């Protein structure tokens, strides 16, 4: 099976590629190695794949339809796993353009070429952020998601609509996966658990918004990758799935676990809840359990242990 995987050098993309290659799939990867965070981390993530006979890498921006068309012309693609995106809620306040280019135009270029080249299956990353300020927990796929509170969230909701059009018009099988706060080894330096670890180890204060009271449904990378691969294996029709751990954790508790494991106290700088931030994310995963056999296993304590071991080995 030849799988086109966008965002291959990203946190989730590189981990997904590793599992797919291990089970014998052929991977055609695309990434533009942008500097939203240190690109050397991206290079290190994919260095293990380079030179493998089942692995091909293209370095360019998916918003460039000409370059993208070349990849489809050169390769026979069976499935698409679209994980490339400009991520991050706060960054979208100051850099709206890049979200429109990468997330809206980039995604549409892929959908259009999938249709043109007869690719049947399209699995793509959406986000829990589409739920906006949804007060009802846990968040269910049937909840209304018409009120995003950041441009990032709006682009992810748009991706779900764009994919639906290609499913409706051309019968493309599309599964949209709403990821809930993914963490683990090789993670993203812009995310809170990573920044807290870095700051605690380097005696820098950490910004704790909303008194550390807001909650995130932290989901360990291996659990998430299992869900993505099951979506690739079972993609049929058009479906949206929540992929989370379904056990929200307060930021204050997350910090206390990191402090305990590092045996070092954080210097906390308490700040109010930020615009665009939601107080809680909490996934109802009934649908993914039923249709994808999704069954997240790793507790926050165990997952952070694995992350911190990796961090101390590779980053410190
Ligand atoms: N990590 C999370 O908690 C989380 C939560 C919800 C949704 N998501 C979504 O999951 C996907 C993967 O996220 P991640 O955490 O691995 O992020 P990441 O930033 O580590 O990975 C994204 C990768 O895509 C690449 N990329 C970005 N724009 C591109 C473009 N225009 N052309 C080519 N490559 C491009 C980046 O260089 C990066 O390597 C994204 O779509 C993200 O929005 C992630």
Measure the CA angle with vertex 227, ends 152 and 289; round to 5°: 110
CB of 13 shorter than 6 A to ligand 1: yes
A 10 A CB-CB count for 56 gives: 18
The catalytic residues are 152
CB of 37 shorter than 6 A to ligand 1: no
CB of 87 shorter than 6 A to ligand 1: yes
Atom 38 of ligand 1 has which residue's CA nearest to it?
10
Q: H/E element holding 47?
A: helix 39-47
Give the C-alpha separation, 4 to 16, whole Å. 12
pLDDT for the residue 250: 97
CB of 221 shorter than 6 A to ligand 1: no
User: Which of 12, 157, 242 to mutate for ligand 1's pocket (most ligand atoms within 8 Å of CB)?
Assistant: 12
Atom 13 of ligand 1 has which residue's CA nearest to it?
12
> pTM to 2 decimals?
0.98
pLDDT for the residue 276: 73
Span from the CA of 265 to the centroid of ligand 1 (angstroms) = 31
Atom 27 of ligand 1 has which residue's CA nearest to it?
85
Give the C-alpha separation, 129 to 288, whole Å. 18
pLDDT for the residue 273: 84
Q: What is the DSSP letter of 117?
A: T
pLDDT for the residue 275: 78
Assigned token pair, 110: 């892929």
Span from the CA of 81 to the centroid of ligand 1 (angstroms) = 12
User: Which of 84, 103, 227 to mutate for ligand 1's pocket (most ligand atoms within 8 Å of CB)?
Assistant: 84
> Could you identify the atom of ligand 1 that is nearest to the CA of residue 103?
31
Count CA atoms within 13 Å of residue 234 on its CB side. Answer: 18
Domains of the chain, each with CATH number or no CATH: 2-180+219-246+282-296 (3.40.50.720)
CB of 8 shorter than 6 A to ligand 1: no
pLDDT for the residue 76: 98
Span from the CA of 97 to the centroid of ligand 1 (angstroms) = 16
3-state secondary structure (DSSP) of residue 306: helix
Q: What is the pLDDT along the chain (316 residues), one digit of tens a residue?
A: 999 999 999 999 999 999 999 999 999 999 999 999 999 999 999 999 999 999 999 999 999 999 999 999 999 999 999 999 999 998 999 999 999 999 999 999 999 999 999 999 999 999 999 999 898 999 999 999 999 999 999 999 999 999 999 999 999 999 999 999 999 999 999 999 999 999 999 999 999 999 999 999 999 999 999 999 999 999 999 999 999 999 999 999 999 999 999 999 999 999 998 877 788 999 999 999 999 999 999 999 999 999 999 999 998 8
């Amino acid at each position: 099976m030849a799988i086109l995987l966008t965002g291959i050098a990203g946190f989730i993309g590189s981990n997904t590629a590793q599992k797919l290659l291990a089970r014998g799939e052929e991977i055609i990867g695309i990434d533009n190695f942008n500097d939203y965070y240190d690109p050397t981390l991206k290079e290190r993530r994919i260095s293990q794949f380079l030179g493998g006979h089942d692995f091909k890498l293209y370095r360019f921006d998916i918003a460039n339809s000409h370059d993208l068309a070349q990849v489809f012309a050169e390769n026979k693609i069976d499935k698409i796993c679209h994980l490339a995106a400009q991520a991050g809620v706060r960054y979208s306040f100051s850099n709206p353009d890049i979200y429109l280019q990468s997330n809206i135009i980039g995604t549409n270029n892929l959908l259009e070429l999938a249709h043109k080249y007869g690719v049947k299956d399209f699995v793509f990353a959406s986000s829990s952020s589409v739920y906006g300020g949804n007060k009802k927990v846990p968040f269910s796929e049937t909840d209304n998601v018409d009120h995003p509170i950041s441009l990032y969230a709006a682009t992810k909701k748009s991706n779900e609509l764009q994919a639906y059009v290609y499913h409706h018009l051309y019968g493309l099988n599309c599964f949209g996966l709403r990821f809930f706060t993914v963490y683990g080894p090789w993670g993203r330096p812009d995310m809170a658990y990573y920044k807290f670890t870095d700051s605690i180890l380097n005696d820098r204060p950490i910004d704790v918004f909303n008194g550390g009271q807001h909650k995130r449904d932290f989901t360990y990378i291996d659990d998430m990758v299992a869900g993505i691969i099951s979506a690739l294996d079972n993609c049929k029709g058009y479906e949206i799935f929540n992929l989370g751990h379904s056990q929200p954790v307060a930021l204050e508790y997350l910090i206390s676990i990191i402090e305990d494991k590092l045996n070092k106290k954080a210097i906390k700088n308490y700040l109010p809840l930020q615009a665009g931030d939601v107080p809680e994310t909490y996934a109802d995963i009934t649908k993914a359990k039923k249709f994808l056999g999704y069954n997240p296993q790793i507790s926050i304590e165990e997952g952070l242990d694995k992350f911190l071991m990796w961090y101390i080995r590779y980053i410190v």
